[in-house]
Structure formats: C-alpha cells, structure tokens
Amino acid sequence: MKKKSKIALVLSGGGFNGAFQLGAINYINENWKKITGSSKPMKFDIIAGVSTGALNGSLLAMNKLDLLNDLWVHQIGKKGVTEIYTSDFIDTSSKSDQVKLKIDLKGLAKRLMPELDFKLNFFNKLGLIFSKKKRKQIIKDILADIELGIKNSLPKIRSIADNTPLKKKLEKYLDRSEIKDTDFICGFVSLDTGDYHSVMHNEFSTEQDFVNGVLASTAIPMIWSPVESIRFITENGIVDSLNNVDGGVRNVSPLGDVINLINKDPDTHYKIIIINCNSGVAKAKNFAKKSIAAIAARSLYEIAVTEIFNNDVDHFVKINNLIKQAEAWDNEIVFYSDKMNALKSFDAVIINPHKDIEMGSSLVANEQLINHRMIHGAAMARIAFEKKDFNNE
C-alpha cells in the first residue's frame, strides 16, 4: 500500500533577510501543482520556524500569504524598519544596506535619566538669573546627577532597540484558531536556563503566550529585550520559560523539531523544504569601526548562524544520503537514532541565497533591499526545484 505524502517547511532565522524566504515561498505558491502534483492551494502539513522564520511561518500557517506579502512589501518595504523596531542608537531612516548609527541624545537621556530632563529645563529657564558662581555650581550638580544616573540606569538597559511595533503587529495578526490542518512549531531560547524550547501553536497556554513565543523567537540578544515570560504545556506539565530570546541562538534551522514530529507519523512519506536566509558563507568585511548593532548582527546572524546552520543541515544531508543508500541496497538495513527510533530517508529541497549575492545587513530594510531579497529568493527556489522534482519521485 502506497504511503500518503505530506510536506514540511523549515524556515531559518535571518532578520530582515527573511524577505528572501518570502520570495521563495511565493515561487512555491505559484508553482505548487508543478512541484507537488496537487491541484489544491499551497498548504504545508508542518511548518517550523525560528526568528524571522517564526514570523513568516506563523502567518503562513494561518494561510495568510497575502498578509505576509503586505507586511514585507507595503509595510516594511515602503516604510522601513520602524514598522518593526525603533531605536535611540540605530539610524532607522538610513537608506544604506548596512547598519548606521545615529544617537538620539534626547531620547537616550530620557531613557537613562528621566528626571534629568526636568532639571535641565528648569536650569534653562532660571539659570541666567543666578550669579556666574552659582551657575557653575548648578552645572556641577547636574553633571554629578548625570554620572549617577548613568551608573544606576545602564544595568537596566537590556537592548539598543525597541520591538514594540512588531509586538503590536503580532497581537493584531496572530490567531491560533486560524491555524487548521497544519502543525506550526516556534523555537525560542530561555536565557535563564539556556534551554531551547520547541513549542507547537496549540501548546501555548494563551493567545498572548503564542504572541510572546513568536516575538521571543525574533528577539536578537542585545538588539531587542528578552520576552520576560512564556507559558506552555508539555507532556510533562506546564512550563514557565523566563527571559526568552531568538531561537536562532541555539537552533538556526529547526530540522530536528520537524523530524521528531515526523517520527510520530511513521505511515506517512514526508517531503521537506528548507529555506535558509543565509548562504552558509560569511563574507569578509572590515569591522574595525563598526557599531555595536553591526557587531551584534554580524556575530549572531552572519557568523554563528552560518556555522550552526552549516553543521545542522550538513549533518542532516549526510545522514539522509546514507539512509537512502542503505534503503536502495538492502531494505533489511536499518539505522536507529539515539532514542532507538528507526530512521528513514526524506525527499528534501534546500534553498539558500547564492554565496556571491550581497543581501545587506540583516538589521536593515528598505524598498530596494526587500525587492532584491525577494527576487533572489524566487530565483534560488526555481534553481533548487529544477534540480529536485518532488512530483516525479
């Protein structure tokens, strides 16, 4: 008896390079029948995502591809990164494809020393009526207040940007009741325990926990503040995960999450599509005078993410090829996981950006960059599927 077939989608992290994923997804949608042989609209049985992949995956699981395109093209593309975050340190109006600093001193002063603004205004209004000696003493006192304020406030600064705009969008858009016939898995990491949590949409305790889970998965450490608390339900009980950040810190491409779920469905043949936002090659750049934001993005997404993704996907491909060879040679040869589950091979397509194509900083977005990333995503998806025809396998 021929096994029924299902399709799983794996979406990596990558910041605003997530537009590359959307370009690839649009190509898949437009060529769904050719790729899968199905005349039905595009529908994935499993979607797993971390970071920007969690954002894209959550809306895709809700069958909201039009909304996802609107978010990237008309909101982020037309209006820039302020649709997702604001910052006292990053120039959010820059048209460059790299991160630029622009310190908002007034905003930063209010953030560090909210009471100082009143004192400065008071001095501006009354300072001139005092003697020169008195004015010097007032200035000295204010400088002392600044020093004390910075010492007291710096430990409280947990990020250089504020992702409140993204949180508001997620609260507006996300609705678990609209996820039907798809298992959506979101990955995030607790800073307190260091644990990577892979949580299905229906395992979150509340809708707000679901929103917080997706938000946490996108929260790049140092760039955005950790999400304080996320509650979800596991087979071992309720978990309260504290101070949660980007799932890409531990698991850039949540293949393991998908394979664990597939292993619970042994009578189904799965095909896996992996869309990565990174080429797998960290391009050489001079970081001698780069900002903290550029350093954070480079460290996490361009170096750490690249290395973890390489190891993750390469490991999968090697094992998958070995299992395929064993299956072709002798059906009695079986590989087992460390949990003694019989391993099976998968049909898999991996879509990456080309290593020679520059897509700009993962913290930067503008209309030109979004279009460039989406066009490249569609082009690389076409190339990947020309090499691998699911329908004819």
Q: What's residue 72's pLDDT? A: 97
Instruction: Please determine, for residue 41, whether its predicted confidence score (pLDDT) is greater than 90.
Output: yes
Is 240 strand, coil or helix?
strand
| Predicted confidence (pLDDT) per residue in 126-142, tens digit | 454 455 666 566 666 65
What confidence score (pLDDT) does residue 213 get? 96
When mean pLDDT is compared over 201-215, 219-233, 346-360, 378-392, the highest value belongs to 201-215
Work out the percent of the chain whose per-residue pLDDT is above 90.
40
Mean pLDDT to the nearest integer, 111-128 = 51
3 state SS of 101: strand
Q: What is the pLDDT of residue 275?
A: 93
Q: How many CB atoms lie within 10 A of CB 382?
A: 14
231-290 pLDDT per residue, tens: 999 888 999 999 998 876 665 567 878 888 887 887 888 889 999 887 666 566 665 666
Mean pLDDT of the chain: 79
Q: For residues 222 and 26, which has the higher predicted lDDT (pLDDT)?
A: 26
Task: Write down the pTM of the prediction.
Answer: 0.80
CA distance 169 to 179: 17
> Rounded to an integer, what distance in angstroms lies between the CA atom of residue 86 and that of residue 342?
48
Q: Which residues pair with 348 in a beta bridge?
A: 272
> Looking at residue 161, what is its pLDDT?
81
pLDDT reading at 1 higher than 50? no
Digit-coded pLDDT (tens) for 160-182: 788 999 999 999 999 999 999 99
Q: What is the residue-wise DSSP string for 178-226?
A: G--S-EEEEEEEETTT--EEEEEGGGBSSHHHHHHHHHHHH--TTTSPP
